[in-house]
Amino acid sequence: MKRLNNIPVKNGKVRIQCSNCKKNHYYSVAPGTRKKIVRCRKCSKTTYCIFNHRQQHREACAVRAEVIIHTTRKIQTHLCNVSLTGIGFIVNSGTLRSFHIGQQIVVQYKATYGKNCTRKARVANVSPDRIGAQYIDISIS
Ligand SMILES: [Zn+2]
């Protein structure tokens, strides 16, 4: 049986392409379902599917974060993207001046699956719509 990993779930649905007849079908996936064997509605070939319910870009857009600068000053932000190497966030124009390239910051946020994340990072770029920072610690997640 063909196995597909890391299939993104969108609005409770996945699109699976049959490995045999190449026909695309949509299937419903319940929120807690991590894997499922689906059967092609055309040729009946089965595929073993492993789902990815977490989509970083969607997750990040809804996440509020706190950025700590000068050790004690906390600034409320929204994350706009999270990657393995860094983080992007949005601040209001009044606090934008508090950031500069090369500055060391601490970012704290709660991931949608409930885990608190604290990362040290260095500011790599500053623009009105996004501040980008690269992690300088070792991943603790
Ligand atoms: Zn098929």
Give pLDDT tens digits for 93-129.
Answer: 888 999 999 999 999 988 766 778 899 999 999 988 7
Res 22: pLDDT: 95
Distance between Cα 111 and ligand 1 center (Å): 37
Cα-to-centroid distance, 19 and ligand 1 (Å): 7
Which alpha helices (H) appear in 45-86, and where do they start and end?
A: 56-61
pLDDT at 139 over 70: no
Distance 54 CA to ligand 1 centre (A): 27
CA–CA distance, 109 with 4 (Å, rounded to integer): 31
Q: What does residue 140 show for φ and ψ, rounded to 5 degrees? A: -105, 5
CA of 20 to the centre of ligand 1 (A): 5
Q: Is domain 57-135 given the CATH code 2.40.10.220 in the classification?
A: yes
Q: Is the dihedral of CA 47, 50, 51, 56 positive or negative?
A: negative
Ligand 1 centre and the CA of 21: distance in Å?
4
Question: Where do the domains of the chain lie?
Answer: 2-53, 57-135
Reduced DSSP (H G I as helix, E B as strand, rest coil) percent helix, strand, coil of the chain, to 5? 5, 55, 40
Residue 105 in contact with residue 69, Cβ under 8 Å? yes
